[in-house]
Amino acid sequence: MVSERSGPHDVGGDPAGPIARAEHEPAHWEKEADAIRMLLADGTRRFFTTDETRRVQEQLDAATYRTLPYYERWIHAFSTLLFDKGVLTRAEVETEEARLRREGRHRLPTETAAHDHDDDHDHAYQPDDDEGETELPPLRLRGLAVRERLIARGVLTRQEIRAEIERMDGRGEHLGARIVARAWADPGFRDRLAADGNAAAAELGIAPAATRLTALFNTDRLHNLVVCTLCSCYPRTVLGRPPAWYKSLAYRSRAVREPRAVLAEFGLTLPDGVEVRVHDSTAENRYLVVPLRPAGTEGWSEERLAGLVSRDAMIGVAAARWPV
């Protein structure tokens, strides 16, 4: 069943099957597509906003939306907006695609293709000949062509793209864990985190994001769970790139429909008396769950406390690790 509320992206509350929780390191092309999108949307360029890229994806028909891999949808979105805004023309990108084909850069080894899989569904590109290579999907080729034209026009440089990839590679759960550990150890910091997440993160030398960071505090009577039903909004500044399951249709659908069942799939069963509160992220607001501090950790250093905090706990699908 596809939600008819506002398009195929609007899946919150729809029935769905089990959540595929297998993880994989993003392929280079996925990191590059992500970096190009960020560079074009953030900072001084601002060729488009997150809402605009989402709007383009939301206009896809249901079959295409569900079939296209996650980062190919982003390539479709940012390339379409670049065409619409006159930054690039379709003709020059098509000419670039033809050049890439002539140079043989439209193919990749089968082994690589088998691992460059989607974040939303089971899909692997199959070889179309007997030479051990497979054709790049059209949007993957478009992504290469757009990159080359943006560099040729001086809009981006290869160094900027590389630096953005490295910047995102350097972000991860270790940053969020530092915030949680400080909040556990320092009541004053906890209060400041509750008032302004970005400012509190900045106290620890973590660069603030363009979006608002809101901390959600678990208690013995309340458990918070974070989802983005429309897309994949996520506190990337403090957790890095979102995991594949967070972006999946199954998680986005079921987190608001049956949160306790979702938590149980992740191995977390809460007492009946604990309220589960689901928070839907937006383009302007991102959430960070501060899990309950485990008992028996009094007097621990912040570094040791941070070791108890996982990415999943800061999304809300897990509790903090029990000290050993």
Q: Which of 3, 6, 79, 233 is catalytic?
A: 233
Our answer to whether residue 231 is catalytic in this structure is yes
Dihedral pair phi/psi, residue 282, rounded to 5°: -130, 175
Pure H helices in 48-172: 50-58, 62-67, 70-84, 90-102, 110-115, 138-152, 158-169
Do the strands 222-227 and 275-280 form a parallel or antiparallel pair, or are they unpaired?
Answer: parallel
Q: Compute, in degrees rounded to 10, the torsion defined by CA atoms 172, 176, 178, 179.
A: 160
Beta bridge partners of 226: 279
Q: Clarify whether 233 is annotated catalytic.
A: yes
Q: Which residues are CB-neighbours of 289 under 8 A, at least 6 positions away?
A: 215, 216, 218, 224, 225, 226, 313, 314, 315, 316
Q: Which three-class secondary structure state does DSSP give residue 89?
A: coil
Active-site option among 3, 6, 79, 231: 231
- Exactly one of 79, 232, 253, 281 is catalytic; name it: 232
Catalytic one among 3, 6, 79, 228?
Answer: 228
Which residues, at least 6 apart from 231, have a Cβ–Cβ distance to it below 8 Å? 9, 54, 57, 283
Q: Which two tokens stand for residue 264?
A: 């149980």
* 281 catalytic residue (yes or no): no
> Closest Cα to residue 87, out of 132, 50, 41, 130?
41
Give the pairing of strands 133-135 and 107-109.
Answer: antiparallel
Reported as type and span, the H/E element at residue 290 is strand 285-290
Q: Which of the residues are catalytic?
A: 228, 231-233
